[in-house]
Amino acid sequence: MTDEREHLMILNDEEGDLTVMLTGDLTLPQASALHRALTELPTNRDARLDLSGSGRFDTAGAWVVARARQRFAAAGHILTITGANDTTDSLLGAVEDAMPVPATRPKPRTGIGARLDGLGRAVASGARFGMALTGYLGIFLARLGRSIRHPGEFRLTALVHHCHEVGFKAVPIVSLMAFLIGVVLAFQGSAQLRQFGAEVFVVDLIAVSVLRELGILLTAIIVAGRTASAFTAAIGSMKMREEIDAMRTLGLDPAMVLFVPRILALLLMLPILGLIANLMGLFGGALMAWIELGISPAMFYTRLVEGTDIGHLMVGTAKAPVFALIIGIVGCHAGMQVESNAESLGRMTSNAVVTAIFAVIVADAMFSIFFAQVGI
Amino acid sequence: MAGGDRNTDEIVISVRGLRNQFGSHVVHENLDLDVRRGEILGVVGGSGTGKSVLLRTIAGLQKPTSGSVEVMGVDVLSADEETRTALEARWGVMFQDGALFSSLTVRENVEVPMRAVVGLDPEIRVALADLRISMAGLPWNAGDKYPAELSGGMRKRAGLARALALDPEIVFLDEPTAGLDPIGASAFDELIVKLSRAMGLTVFLVTHDLDTLHAVCDRIAVLAERKVLVTGTMKQMLKVDHPWVHEYFHGPRARAALDAAAE
């Protein structure tokens, strides 16, 4: 190929008339070299391009020739093609007909203005997203109210099915997670507290942190990962295949059929999962405290009942319904945003998980501030 | 309609004794087929007769149970990696819904095959991609769009642009006009004829569309009873008295297409 480049053209620069002869293949691999060579031609007079000595000729070759002709035409001169056979001629004709209009693509804006523009759009879309979520909360509450007034429309079978999926099937992973967190807390707590000879306070440490914060927060995070993605995938694939539209045409309300059983199942199941997590966390902590510090289960129990206020459990459990609503609404909303392609389904599913976890943590932080202010 | 003078007798695709079997379900048995250089061959057959399977087998996407497939003198099934890669650059495949890479714009999709060409400047590659897009009959601003933003017909055109990016000698089209409105379908028919004539393409076309068969195909191959039952021009097809073939080419839809073509 490299050798061929030198033989690409012979210039016959006779009096006033420029003849260029192309030799060798005029195909895609040679297109760059050929284009460069033809760009160097002076366009200050008419010229002839002789193809009679050329080899294979493809669309790329035709493009190069067509570009050269355009360049001559722009300079007010003519590049005549000679020696082309029928196939070359027809290809050249097809390419010249299709030569794209020189693109007048708008230049992307740069600078401070564009950045401010981007920031503004991001803030606006964030606000719109928040409003959309609030809207979905409203829809859910309205449909829930409707199903209380018209119990016949409520889908009990679906609710039981989703309770099974969301709650029962999550028990093993939630239990294991909470047990391990209890173990870790006891282990780390005992290492620090031993320095002050205050080993027994490890019970308070475990009880307060598990009951008040970690039990429900980590359960919510696990459920967000499991369930928000499942909701988005299920609703999103129905949206993708126009099943949601089909439901609407059949007089079924997607919010009633799809959202209410799912979110309600989460509302019922998340507090229970949180309680299971609390129990398992305390169990793991007690076990580790016994092994590591010699605090017997009986002693752990006594200290737990005496030293830990029931308020901690209340605070923890009170958050569960809020987390459940957040996870359910984020999951259902993301599912409804899926467009008609598989890529958006994947994108919305991972968005749902990230948003749900983030929102749960933000809500938890707000709860902490609130409870600290009211002094519970 | 057939550009008979352009067709040489050189055989570019030769299938012999092909057998495709999925589990106990035999799709092809002892199937023979020849495709000549420069012709547009339409493959028809009822649903489930393995038209797409045949296309996929010839294009090397599916290994047959037995038989031989020779494309431009190369045995597709036993060729080594290097020969196959060289061969694959000489054919293009357009899948039913375009099969465009959804994370790339249309222009980037068309550029993909050209990226493998050594010594091609990026600006020229972009310009050539724009040319293919325009030759496939898409508006100039379609290059910046993502496949999801295009209509079905535009996706097919973009798929064709990508299949033709390396100026292949053979192009395989799987149901090119399925799901298009009649105007879009006949425009696509015209496009196939125009491009194949301009670029000297051999076209292997799987279709259900009788209008396409009339408007585009030089020869027709009918798949039935697990093999290529008959091949020939439209005129010859009308004389075949096999019940399915007769029903296919003499049914009410066929007659309407025939009348339309005769006008």
Q: Which residues of A touch B128 (CB under 8 A)?
A: 28, 31, 59-60, 63
How far apart, in whole angstroms, are the C-alpha atoms of residue A372 and residue A370?
A: 5
pLDDT (tens digit per residue) in B116-127: 887 788 888 888
Both tokens of B156, joined, read 């097919």
Percent of chain A at pLDDT exceeding 90:
54
Select from B107, B126, B134, B146 the residue whose CB has the most chain A CBs within 10 Å, as the one to mutate to test that interface. Answer: B134
How far apart, in whole angstroms, are the C-alpha atoms of residue B187 and residue B208?
A: 16
**Nearest Cα to Cα of residue B43 among B175, B235, B201, B225:** B175
ipTM comes to 0.79
Select from B120, B141, B162 the residue whose CB has the most chain A CBs within 10 Å, as the one to mutate to test that interface. Answer: B120
Residue B138 pLDDT:
86
pLDDT (tens digit per residue) in A222-231: 999 999 999 9
Q: Which residues of B touch A101 (CB under 8 A)?
A: 140
Cβ atoms of A75 and A43 within 8 Å: the answer is yes
3-state secondary structure of A154: coil
Burial category of A38 from C-beta neighbours within 10 Å (exposed 0-12, middle 13-18, buried 19 and up):
buried
Cα dihedral A345→A351→A352→A357 (10° resolution): 160
Secondary structure (H, E, C), B85-153: HHHHCCEEEECCCCCCCCCCCHHHHHHHHHCCCCCCCHHHHHHHHHHHHHHCCCCHHHHHCCHHHCCHH
Cβ atoms of A373 and A244 within 8 Å: the answer is no
pLDDT (tens digit per residue) in A85-139: 887 888 888 888 877 766 566 677 778 888 999 999 999 999 999 999 999 999 9
Q: Does B115 touch chain A (CB under 8 A)?
A: no
For residue B235, what are the contacts with CB-CB under 8 A and spacing of at least 6?
none
Rg for chain A (alpha carbons), in Å?
36
pLDDT (tens digit per residue) in B52-67: 888 888 888 888 888 8
Within a 10 A sphere around the Cβ of A195, how many other Cβ atoms? 8
Name the band, by pLDDT with cuts 50, 70 and 90, for residue A13. Answer: low
Q: Do A343 and B166 touch (CB under 8 A)?
A: no
**Nearest Cα to Cα of residue A29 among B128, B229, B100:** B128
Name the band, by pLDDT with cuts 50, 70 and 90, for residue A2. Answer: very low
Within a 10 A sphere around the Cβ of A298, how many other Cβ atoms? 8
pLDDT (tens digit per residue) in B172-191: 998 888 878 888 888 888 88
List, as one string, the DSSP characters of A287-353.
HHHHHHH---HHHHHHHHHHHS-HHHHHHHHHHHHHHHHHHHHHHHHHHHT--SSHHHHHHHHHHHH
Nearest to A59 among B119, B130, B131 (CB): B131
pLDDT (tens digit per residue) in A118-132: 999 999 999 999 999
**Nearest Cα to Cα of residue B229 among B217, B212, B241:** B241
Cβ atoms of A273 and A167 within 8 Å: the answer is yes
